[in-house]
């Protein structure tokens, strides 16, 4: 399956004019902490299209979860969106009141959390929780709600759904609980599903079942799926596009296949190399150090202290998101070099004359 | 040397909080009052003139700065005289029940099995027996025993009764948090290193399980002072002629609507001030001793 | 068998399930149900399996946190159970553990020097040069700054905390480290650092590792031998390359194929095939083998081969014919009658036996490749790790 960059593929008819279902532009989120204001997300943009899966990859603290909480209007009180827009079918959700924001999301954007046990209320039956929103908004009768709950459980392939709607969350296994979470997210028939590490707590064989289920439902309903994960294997297995986040920024955005073959950012490259593989038996190539604390962000490119291709410019200039090739974006001063598989020219050479690759795009030309 | 570092860090944190300093001053004030009552009043709490009963507060420097009570005794003098038995009783009762409760709760939660069974059932028995009934029983036992009139002697009976019926709360709290703490990985790690039960209990489990219990201490000090007043009705409170804040509060409450609210207000303000200060101090101490909160 | 530093023989660990007023024992969680394995000196044995497979329980038995129900644990040829109290304490020093979660495995109220020095305090050891110096050396050994010894765990990152945990485990100079998911709680970029540290320490100190993990990629990288557990039993065991490239047990094959591979050309979700049955002719389309359902409860494991209820291979076998006279009522299971599996799978627990088809013998000195399946065979075109 070749990765297609054309956003028009398998466009849902009801998305309206073929645009993206959800478009996040230049989103920035700040947290108030005892040590001052900390920027958790800084200038993140992405589009979710019908029938496509966007994976947001990052380590803990990269801002991948915070950004989706911002999209859903679920940020804690200590956080604030300082910039950007979240457009859902033409409306900027961030201009709405918090209540209106959540109401809109409830209809069209749903979320699946990592920890299904914590996200489900232990004192209510699964059937009750599945239809809570439906009953509140659409005034379903008890009988209708029960029937709808059974349908939803059938949809996520929970065996013996009729009997199981009367059970409580603790009576379900981890994989089944995650299915219930997915079913409850699907109850309002959303256009976009945001899944935050939906399979991290599951065993691999169960993970495969759940991922497959998500993909099937998505294909059937032409939903847009945002998959937040740290597992590059999962991304390769299910996603169409990928956004790699580091220290609150998107450092690389592209379709999955070229990202894995020719990563355009040193961080992506290093992440892919650090995955233990069959062939490597010696030392694992690692990324030295650890992700920066948002309270003490390095100057210039946030990745430069850990980068294996760091140059002088990286220490002072924040690299803008550039487009080194069709459909690819990378926040690296030397994106073309990285994509081509070699390291940028050493600084000494760069001091005399601008490196040849600095010219063509508007991203790298700010020497001096 | 490490402990020294922790303590000095604790002191640095404490100093940054003005409410802590105010609370410390209030506690210090009452401590001085308990130790040197003469500094605060020259009047004896026992020279009472019934014709001077229920005088309003007269202001500082007058014969009765805080007025007089229902029997004509000086309110300030009784207040000052009540500090020592009240605070001593509170600290003795809370201290002893803490010791019993924490020990039993730790044993029950850590070993489970029959030790837990025994301790838990004992807790339930003590919770079921009414305090007053047991107090009356004790009263009849010690009716004819002369306990003397020293500071400790006057609080002995209420202390015994209150300790007997105060430790269960601590034991339950400690048991619950020990159950939680003992399954954490660092406890397993210590066990896999071959650490003794005693070491695991006191180095690993208890320091991390004591938190919820320390939060109970200031309020239970207040409760002890209040309950003592009830016991004093039965004659097993602080022994007259010694007096206590609890006795004053219960006597004063009869005159709130009878035109002399100051008899109640004076001891009540002292009690609230003391308890609030202890709450603040306890809170600050807990924060300061937790390495996670000292940056 | 020549140089096994740790040997486990027929180890069983059952937890009684009590219920009712009299707290009668009404059954048992068969967490570990007859496991035998050998850890070679200086080597790493990877133990993989899903949650509930008993791999963590096995680890806890080996470090002495849990007592086995039956079976023997031999360290350097000595049976742990037969030793005196003092001998057991000595033995504890030889087998140490590294825990999964670096956030709960360090006491938050103890400084790093107290944590790393605790083994000395417990065993009353005063290392040459004093405990302080020894703690400093240990911290240096795991790549931490000895000057940070007075800091508390919360002041360190996850990876650094895991190094503290490793330093503590190394304090008593053990021969064996039992690592229970030591990197699964860490960020991807930090996992590699800890794995490299473990490998360096093995080379430097001659340690032997029992490496328990669910991440097959990590195990493949670090382990020399691999054992696959399912419901308290080992279903396949052998040298790493043979197990990964020539998996013979249908469970191992499914497990390997379910691991997401960081290669976009290997899609985990291909829209067309969805049923496990059709995927059994795997290899051809490159689709993953997806197992149905969750692992059964270890309280009441299936009869015969524990895997037969989820096995994708069994229903496709010619032996899977309807039994004219069923040995037990078919109504026992909800899906009875839907799934047909060979009678042998339902009645006989398969033993771990060497498969003749396997690259016989394996590396000299290494463990041989053994599989517990009546119908073990290699996949036509094994789709394991690109």
Q: What is the pLDDT of residues B91-100, one digit of tens each?
A: 999 999 999 9
The pair of three-digit structure tokens given for residue A185, joined into one six-digit string: 């997210």
Let me know if residue B253 belongs to a domain: yes
Topology adopted by domain A18-257:
Rossmann fold (3.40.50)
CB atoms within 10 A of CB B2: 12
Asked if the C-beta of A16 comes within 8 angstroms of chain C's C-beta atoms, the answer is no
CB-closest option in C63, C92, C99 to B185: C99
CB pairs under 8 A between B and C: 71
Asked if the C-beta of A207 comes within 8 angstroms of chain C's C-beta atoms, the answer is yes
Q: What is the pLDDT of residue A91?
A: 85
Q: Is there a contact between B195 and C114 if contact means CB atoms under 8 Å apart?
A: no
CB-closest option in B192, B196, B208 to C108: B208
Let me know if residue B295 belongs to a domain: no
CB atoms within 10 A of CB C176: 21
Beta strands in chain C (DSSP E): 4-19, 24-40, 44-48, 70-75, 78-79, 95-98, 176-180, 208-213, 225-230, 233-239, 353-354, 370-371
Q: What is the pLDDT of residue B51?
A: 76
Residue C25 has pLDDT above 90, yes or no: no
Q: What is the pLDDT of residues B5-41, one digit of tens each?
A: 666 766 776 677 788 889 889 989 988 988 888 887 7
Q: What is the pLDDT of residue A5?
A: 41
Cα A216 from Cα A207, distance rounded (Å): 14
Let me know if residue C229 belongs to a domain: no
Mean pLDDT of C29-41: 91
Put the strands of the sheet holding A91-92 in their side by side order: A36-48, A22-33, A79-88, A91-92
Q: What is the pLDDT of residue C83?
A: 82
Let me know if residue B215 belongs to a domain: yes
Q: Is there a contact between B203 and C107 if contact means CB atoms under 8 Å apart?
A: yes
Find the residue in A nearest to C50 (Cα).
A203
Chain B residues inside the 8 Å CB shell of C60: 188
Pairing between strand C78-79 and C70-75? antiparallel
User: φ and ψ at C231, to 5 degrees?
Assistant: 50, 50
Domain definitions of chain A by residue range:
18-257, 267-276+298-368
CA dihedral (B214, B215, B216, B217) in degrees, to 10, reads: 50
Find all residues with CB under 8 Å of A17, minimum gap 6, and list them.
none
Q: What is the pLDDT of residue A350?
A: 44
pLDDT band at C173 (very low <50, low <70, confident <90, very high): very high
Residue C319 has pLDDT above 50, yes or no: yes
| Same structural domain, C264 and C158 | no
Alpha-carbon distance values, B219 to A15, B94, B249, B279, C363 (Å): 60, 10, 17, 7, 71
Let me know if residue C234 belongs to a domain: no
Asked if the C-beta of C119 comes within 8 angstroms of chain B's C-beta atoms, the answer is yes
Chain A residues inside the 8 Å CB shell of C185: none
Cα C121 from Cα C222, distance rounded (Å): 32
Q: Is there a contact between B188 and C101 if contact means CB atoms under 8 Å apart?
A: no
Domain that holds residue B24: 2-289
Q: What is the pLDDT of residues A292-322, one digit of tens each?
A: 887 788 899 999 999 988 899 999 999 988 8
Mean pLDDT of A38-45: 91
* Strand partners of residue C4: C40
Give the residue from B189, B25, A64 showing the smallest Cα distance to C59: B189
Find all residues with CB under 8 Å of A145, minimum gap 6, and list them.
A127, A131, A134, A135
Q: Which chain A residues in 222-261 lie under 8 Å from chain C, judged by CB atoms?
A: 230-238, 256-257, 259-261
Domain that holds residue C114: 4-223
Specify the residue for token string 């809370």: B94
The answer to whether the beta carbons of residues B278 and C94 sit under 8 Å apart is no
Mean pLDDT of A319-341: 89
Residue C98 has pLDDT above 80, yes or no: yes
Give the residue from A265, A263, A259 showing the smallest Cα distance to A242: A259
CATH of the domain at C85: 3.40.50.300
CATH of the domain at B221: 1.10.3720.10
Number of compact structural domains in chain B: 1
Alpha-carbon distance values, B2 to A101, B198, C118, C133 (Å): 52, 22, 15, 16
pLDDT band at B293 (very low <50, low <70, confident <90, very high): low
More confident residue, A10 or B226: B226
Let me know if residue B167 belongs to a domain: yes
Distance from CA of B193 to the nearest CA of C (A): 6
Give the residue from B215, B244, B101, B226 showing the smallest Cα distance to B164: B101
Cα B77 from Cα B96, distance rounded (Å): 29
User: φ and ψ at C208, to 5 degrees?
Assistant: -110, 140
Q: What is the pLDDT of residue A9?
A: 38
Mean pLDDT of A150-179: 87
Q: Which chains touch A (3 or more CB pairs under 8 A)?
A: C
Which of C208, C223, C238 is the last residue before a domain boundary?
Answer: C223
The pair of three-digit structure tokens given for residue A242, joined into one six-digit string: 């990928």
**What b/e sequence results for C301-315 when a residue is b if at least 16 CB atoms lie within 10 Å of its CB, and e otherwise?**
bbbbbbbbbbbbbbb
| Same structural domain, C81 and C160 | yes
Q: What is the pLDDT of residues C229-267, one digit of tens each?
A: 999 999 999 999 889 888 889 999 988 888 888 888 777
Residue A81 has pLDDT above 80, yes or no: yes
Burial of C316 (0-12, 13-18, 19+ CB in 10 A): middle
pLDDT band at A360 (very low <50, low <70, confident <90, very high): very low
CB atoms within 10 A of CB A170: 9
Asked if the C-beta of A348 comes within 8 angstroms of chain C's C-beta atoms, the answer is no
* 3-class SS of residue A9: coil
Alpha-carbon distance values, B288 to B2, B7, B208, B211, B277 (Å): 15, 8, 14, 12, 16
pTM: 0.82
Chain C residues inside the 8 Å CB shell of B2: 111, 113-114, 150
Residue B135 has pLDDT above 50, yes or no: yes
Find the residue in C nearest to B291 (Cα).
C109
Q: What is the pLDDT of residues C193-227, one digit of tens each?
A: 999 999 999 999 999 999 999 888 889 999 999 99
Q: What is the pLDDT of residues C348-360, one digit of tens each?
A: 888 888 865 544 4
DSSP string for residues in A140-184? --HHHHHHHHHHHHHHTT-TTHHHHTTS-GGGS-HHHHHHHHHHH
CA B6 distance to own-chain centroid: 27
* 3-class SS of residue B252: helix
Cα A305 from Cα A291, distance rounded (Å): 10
Asked if the C-beta of C107 comes within 8 angstroms of chain B's C-beta atoms, the answer is yes
pLDDT above 90 coverage of chain A, percent: 26
Whether the upstream peptide bond of residue C108 has omega within 30° of 0, thus cis, is: no
Let me know if residue B294 belongs to a domain: no
Kind plus residue range of the DSSP H or E element containing A323: strand A322-325
Q: What is the pLDDT of residue A102?
A: 85
Q: Is there a contact between C195 and A284 if contact means CB atoms under 8 Å apart?
A: yes
Distance from CA of B215 to the nearest CA of C (A): 18
The answer to whether the beta carbons of residues C117 and C28 sit under 8 Å apart is no
Cα A237 from Cα A256, distance rounded (Å): 9
The answer to whether the beta carbons of residues B219 and B165 sit under 8 Å apart is no
* Strand partners of residue A23: A47, A87
């Amino acid at each position: 399956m070749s990765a297609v960059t054309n956003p028009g593929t398998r466009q849902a008819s009801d998305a309206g004019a073929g645009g993206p279902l959800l478009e996040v532009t230049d989103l920035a989120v700040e947290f108030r902490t005892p040590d001052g204001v900390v920027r958790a997300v800084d200038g993140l943009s992405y589009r979710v299209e019908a029938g496509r899966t966007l994976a947001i990859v990052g380590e803990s603290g990269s801002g991948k979860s915070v950004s989706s909480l911002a999209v859903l209007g679920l940020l804690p009180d200590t956080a604030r969106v300082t910039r950007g827009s979240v457009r859902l079918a033409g409306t900027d959700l961030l201009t709405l009141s918090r209540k209106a924001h959540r109401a809109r999301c409830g209809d069209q954007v749903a979320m699946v959390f990592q920890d299904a046990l914590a996200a489900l209320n232990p004192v209510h039956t699964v059937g009750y929780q599945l239809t809570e929103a439906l009953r509140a908004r659409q005034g379903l009768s008890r009988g209708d709600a029960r029937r709808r709950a059974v349908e939803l459980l059938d949809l996520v392939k929970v065996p013996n759904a009729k009997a199981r709607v009367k059970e409580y969350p603790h009576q379900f296994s981890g994989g089944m609980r995650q299915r219930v979470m997915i079913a409850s997210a699907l109850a309002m028939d959303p256009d976009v599903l945001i899944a935050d590490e939906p399979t991290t707590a599951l065993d691999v064989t169960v993970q495969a079942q759940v991922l497959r289920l998500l993909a099937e439902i998505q294909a059937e309903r032409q939903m847009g799926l945002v998959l937040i994960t740290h597992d590059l294997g999962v991304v390769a297995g299910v996603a169409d596009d990928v956004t790699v986040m580091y220290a609150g920024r998107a450092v690389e955005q592209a379709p999955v296949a070229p990202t894995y073959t020719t990563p355009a950012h040193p961080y992506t490259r290093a992440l892919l190399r650090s995955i233990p593989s069959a062939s490597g038996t010696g030392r694992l190539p690692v990324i030295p150090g650890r992700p920066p604390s948002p309270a003490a962000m390095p100057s210039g490119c946030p990745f430069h202290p850990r980068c294996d291709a760091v140059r002088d410019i990286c220490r002072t200039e924040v690299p803008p998101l550039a487009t080194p090739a069709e459909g690819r974006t990378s926040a690296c001063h030397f994106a073309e070099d990285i994509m081509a598989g070699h390291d940028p020219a050493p600084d000494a050479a760069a001091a005399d004359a601008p490196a040849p690759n600095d010219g063509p795009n508007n991203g790298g030309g700010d020497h001096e | 040397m490490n402990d020294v570092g922790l303590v000095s860090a604790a002191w640095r944190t404490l100093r940054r909080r003005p409410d802590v300093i105010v609370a410390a001053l209030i506690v210090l004030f009452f401590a001085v009052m308990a130790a040197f009552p003469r500094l605060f009043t020259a009047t004896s709490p026992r020279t009472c003139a019934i014709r001077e009963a229920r005088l309003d507060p007269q202001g500082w420097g007058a014969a009765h700065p805080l007025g007089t009570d229902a029997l004509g005794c000086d309110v300030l003098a009784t207040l000052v005289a009540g500090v020592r038995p009240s605070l001593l009783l509170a600290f003795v009762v809370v201290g002893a029940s803490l010791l019993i409760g924490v020990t039993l709760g730790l044993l029950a939660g850590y070993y489970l099995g029959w030790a837990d069974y025994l301790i838990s059932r004992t807790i339930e028995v003590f919770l079921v027996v009414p305090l007053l009934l047991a107090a009356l029983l004790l009263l009849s036992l010690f009716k004819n025993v002369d306990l003397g009139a020293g500071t400790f002697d006057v609080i002995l009976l209420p202390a015994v009764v209150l300790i007997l019926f105060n430790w269960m709360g601590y034991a339950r709290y400690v048991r619950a948090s020990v159950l939680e703490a003992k399954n954490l990985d660092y406890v397993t790690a210590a066990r896999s290193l071959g650490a003794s039960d005693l070491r695991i209990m006191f180095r690993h489990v208890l320091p991390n399980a004591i938190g919820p219990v320390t939060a109970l201490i200031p309020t239970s000090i207040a409760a002890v002072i209040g309950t003592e007043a009830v016991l004093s009705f039965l004659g097993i409170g602080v022994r007259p002629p010694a007096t206590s804040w609890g006795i004053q509060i219960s006597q004063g409450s009869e005159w709130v609507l009878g035109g002399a609210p100051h008899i109640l207000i004076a001891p009540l303000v002292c009690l609230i001030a003391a308890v609030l200060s202890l709450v603040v101090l306890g809170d600050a101490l807990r924060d300061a001793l937790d390495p996670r909160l000292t940056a | 068998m020549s140089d096994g530093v740790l040997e486990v023989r027929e180890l069983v660990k059952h937890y009684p399930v009590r219920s009712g007023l009299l707290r009668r024992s009404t059954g048992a969680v068969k967490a570990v149900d007859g496991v035998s394995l050998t850890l070679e000196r200086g080597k790493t044995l990877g133990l993989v399996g899903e949650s509930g497979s008993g791999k963590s329980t096995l680890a806890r038995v080996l470090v002495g946190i849990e007592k086995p129900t039956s079976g023997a644990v031999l360290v350097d040829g000595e049976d742990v159970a037969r030793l005196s109290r003092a001998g057991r304490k000595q033995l504890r020093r030889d087998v140490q553990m590294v825990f999964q979660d670096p956030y709960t495995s360090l006491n938050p109220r103890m400084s790093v020097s107290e944590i790393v020095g605790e083994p000395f305090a417990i065993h009353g050891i005063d290392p040459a040069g004093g405990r302080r110096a020894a703690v400093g050396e240990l911290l240096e050994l795991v790549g931490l700054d000895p000057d940070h010894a007075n800091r508390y765990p919360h002041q360190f990152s996850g990876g650094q905390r895991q190094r503290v945990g490793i330093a503590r485990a190394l304090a008593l100079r053990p021969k064996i480290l039992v690592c229970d998911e030591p990197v699964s709680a860490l960020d991807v970029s930090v996992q590699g650092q800890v794995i490299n540290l473990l490998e360096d320490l093995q080379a430097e100190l001659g340690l032997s590792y029992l490496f328990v993990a669910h991440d097959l990629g990590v195990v493949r990288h670090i382990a020399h031998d691999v054992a696959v557990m399912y419901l308290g039993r080992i279903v396949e065991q052998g040298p790493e390359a043979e197990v990964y490239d020539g998996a013979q047990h249908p469970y191992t094959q499914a497990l390997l194929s379910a691991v997401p591979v960081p290669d976009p050309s290997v899609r985990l979700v291909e829209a067309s095939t969805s049923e496990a049955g059709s995927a059994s002719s795997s290899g051809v389309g490159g689709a993953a083998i997806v197992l149905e359902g969750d692992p059964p409860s270890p309280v009441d494991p299936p009869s015969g081969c524990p895997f037969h209820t989820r096995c994708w291979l069994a229903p496709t076998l010619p032996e899977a014919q309807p039994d004219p006279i069923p040995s037990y009522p078919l109504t026992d299971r909800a899906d009875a009658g839907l799934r047909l599996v060979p009678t042998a799978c339902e009645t006989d627990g398969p033993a771990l036996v060497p498969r003749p088809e396997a690259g016989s013998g394996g590396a000299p000195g290494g463990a041989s490749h053994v599989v517990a399946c009546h119908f073990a065979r290699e996949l036509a075109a094994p789709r394991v790790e690109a």
